Structure 1
C-alpha cells in the first residue's frame, strides 16, 4: 500500500464502477484489484469509526435536550436537527463503502479463480487455492460484521427523525417530554450500534492483515 499512498488517488478509488474495463484501467497505471480492495476496506473502516463518533455526538445532543430548562428552544432544535442530518449522511456513506467493497471483491475473486487454473505447478496451485479460501473466509466475516453494524443504523435514525420532527412542530415542554420517554431505548440502541461498529472495525483490521501477508 506504500505505492498507493504515494499516488494519492482518492477520486479513482472512490468510484464504484462495476466494470472489467474500469479495473483493467487501474491496473494499467499500476493499481491491482488487491490494492483497491485493501484501500476500500480501510476507507470503510475509517467511515465506521467516524459514524460511531457521530452517533455518540447525536446521542449527547438528544440527552442534552432532555435537560433543557429554558432559553431558545428553536436553537436547541436546530442543533438536534444538525446532528440528525449528519447521522443520515454518515449512514449513507457506510452503505456506499460496503457496496464499493463488494464490487471490487467480486472482480478480484473472479480473476483469482481464473488465474489459479493457469498454474502448471501443482504445489503453487494448491498454495494459491488455500490463500484464496482463507481470504474468502476472512472476507465473509468482514462483510457480515459490516452489514450487521449497518443494519443497526436505520432503526436509530427512524426514532431520531420522529423526535426531530415532533420537536419542530412542538417547540414546547411536550416535545421535551416525548424525547425523555424514548431516551432510554435510544441509548441502548446507540450502545449496540457502537459495539457492532467496533466489531466490524476489528474485522476490517484483521482482513487488511490477511491481504498484506
Structure 2
C-alpha cells in the first residue's frame, strides 16, 4: 500500500511538471509579438480557429470578397503539426483557416463578425459535437489595430449575451497548411454524414444571420 502511495505521488509530480511545461510553451505563444502578413497582389490574409475547419472553410468561402480559404493548424508550439498529432490535443494548435480576401470588398472587422456569427461564442474548447483544445475558438491578430477590433467586438458581444465569450485572442505567428484531403472538404464530400448533419446546418445558420454579405451563388 505504501509503495502504491509513493508511486501515485511520483506520477502526480511528473504530471504536474508536464502540464506546467506545456502551459509555459503555450504562454510564450500568447505573449509573442504578432507577425504581419503583407498584401499579395492586393489580397490580405486573416486567420481564425472555430471548431472543425471543414465547417469554417465553407462559411468564409460563402462571403463576398473572400477568394480562397485554406485549412490547417495554428496557435500552438509544435512544428509541422499533422491531423493525427492535432487530435491528441497536445500540440497547442487548433484547427484553423487562412482566409485570403480582398480588403477593398470585405474588411477584417466584417470577417470577425462572420467568426462570431458562425459559431456558439460561449462554447469552450469546441464547437457543436467537436470537443478538445484542438477545436477551441481563436482569433489571430497581426497588429494592434486588429487586436483592438477583436477585443471591442468580443466585449460588446459579451454584454449583449450577458455571458463570457470563449474565443481566445492570439498574435498570429505561423499557419501550417493542412493535408490535401482536408481542403475543399464540404464541396467535395457533400454526402458525408458529418457534412450533412453538422457542417451544412452550421453554414445555413450563419447565412441566415448575415445574408447581405454573401456571394451571389450562395
User: TM-score scaled to structure 1, two decimals?
Assistant: 0.24
Q: Relative to total residues, which structure has the larger helix share, 1 or 2? A: 1
Which structure is larger by alpha-carbon Rg, 1 or 2? 1
Q: Relative to total residues, which structure has the larger strand share, 1 or 2? A: 2
Which protein has greater RCO, CA pairs closer than 8 Å, 6+ apart?
1
